[in-house]
């Protein structure tokens, strides 16, 4: 009985202890060492890779060969691979433990916004209420740039759903 009580006490300590999540500095920067797809990059931070999920946007899927997925990846790569970038963030991680942020390249371009302007990303309204991103998407749609050339483009969140 005493063993059971001791075991429950020890387990409750582990279960109620907060998990230490790393806090990143607000002036986070690092060299882009990988581009997974249009909205996911890896930077070298503190001598190890840190995966960044671009905030406010969702790019077409590259793995499931969604139209414009390869172009979105190429755009991101062309505009930041090998560069030191700044990451504007709120220390929030997505469900895949990626730091969510806006990426500013060496020339001062906000990659997240440029992807939407170029018609290579949707404003991800499920996770963003930004009126600026909504306006950028609306303009890209109006001028039919990038994926908006397609009369019925499929959003990535629908493309990812099992058929």
Catalytic (active-site) positions: 53, 61, 98
Q: Do 56 and 103 meet the contact criterion of CB atoms below 8 Å apart? A: no
Q: Do 102 and 54 meet the contact criterion of CB atoms below 8 Å apart? A: yes
Q: Helix or strand or coil: residue 24?
A: coil
Pairing of strands 48-54, 84-93: unpaired
Decide: residue 76, CB within 10 A, 0-12 exposed, 13-18 middle, 19+ buried. buried
Q: Which two tokens stand for residue 155?
A: 């959003």
């Amino acid at each position: 009985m005493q063993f059971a009580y001791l075991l429950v006490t020890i387990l409750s300590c582990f279960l109620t202890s907060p998990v230490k999540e790393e806090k990143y500095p607000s002036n986070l920067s690092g060299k882009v060492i990988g581009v997974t797809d249009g909205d996911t990059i890896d930077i070298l931070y503190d001598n190890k890779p840190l995966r960044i999920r671009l905030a406010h946007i969702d790019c077409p899927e590259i793995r499931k060969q969604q139209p414009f997925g390869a172009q979105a990846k190429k755009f991101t790569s062309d505009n930041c691979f090998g560069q030191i970038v700044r990451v504007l963030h709120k220390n929030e991680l997505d469900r895949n433990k990626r730091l969510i942020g806006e990426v500013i390249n060496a020339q001062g371009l906000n990659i997240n916004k440029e992807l939407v302007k170029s018609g290579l990303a949707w404003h991800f309204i499920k996770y963003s209420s930004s009126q600026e991103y909504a306006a950028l998407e609306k303009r890209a749609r109006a001028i039919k740039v990038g994926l908006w050339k397609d009369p019925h483009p499929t959003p990535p969140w629908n493309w990812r759903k099992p058929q």
